[in-house]
Amino acid sequence: MNLAVLCTARYIGPMFTRLFFLFFISTAISFSAPIPNLEATDQNGRPFQAHSLKGSYILISFVFSSCPMPKMCPLTMRLNKKVQTLWKQKIKAPLSLLVVTLDPGGDTPEVLKKYGARFSLDEKTSFLVTGDPQKLSDFGSAFNVAGWPSGNTTVHNLKTILVGPNLDELKQYKENEWTPEQLIKDAQAFLRQ
C-alpha cells in the first residue's frame, strides 16, 4: 500500500471519527435559552413577570375567554386543569400555570379571573395574564404562536409549552393533540435527568 495513503487513513480516519462524534453529541444535546420574560397583568390586577416563576415548572398556554369553539380554548383550559390535578398527585416539584390571552382588548383581569374560576384552576398557582398587545404578541411569537382578529373572534394556533424550573423550554405540545397523562410522563422523564 502506498505510504501516503496509509498515513492518511491512519491519522485522518480517527480525526474524522472524533469530529463526527463531537458533531453528533453537540446536535443531540439540546441547549435551550431561557424563555423570554413577559411583563403583564394577572387576573387579580397585579403586575406579573414570567421570570418570577423561576424555580417552578411552568405550563404555558395561549387562549382567549370568548372562544366559541369547544375543541380549542375551552379544551386547552380543561387539559390544563387535568394537568394541575395529576401533577399534584404524581409529581413533588411545583407547577405554575401561565395562561396568556390572545385577546387583550376583551380579556381584562376581571374577565380572566372569572374564566379561570369557570375551569376551577388552582388560584395560588395559576396566572391568567393580559396586558400590552405587542408584549403579549412578542411572547407568543417566541413559541410560534400567533393570533389575529377575524370578525368577532380571534383566529390562532394552539400550543402548550412545558418549561423547566430554570426557565428553559422542555417540550411543546401542538394543538390539543396531547393528553395530561402524556405530559405528566414527559415531566417525570425530565425530572429523572
- Is the model's pLDDT at 24 over the cut of 80? no
- Is the model's pLDDT at 11 over the cut of 60? no
Q: Which range has the worst mean pLDDT, 30-34, 74-78, 167-171?
A: 30-34
User: pLDDT per residue over 25-41, tens digit each?
Assistant: 333 344 468 999 999 99
pLDDT-derived band at 15, boundaries 50, 70, 90 = very low
What pLDDT, on a 0 to 100 scale, did the predictor assign at position 32? 67
What Å distances lie between residue 87 and 58, 114, 123, 127, 193, CA to CA?
A: 11, 23, 15, 17, 18
pLDDT-derived band at 17, boundaries 50, 70, 90 = very low
Which of 152 and 71 is assigned the larger pLDDT? 71
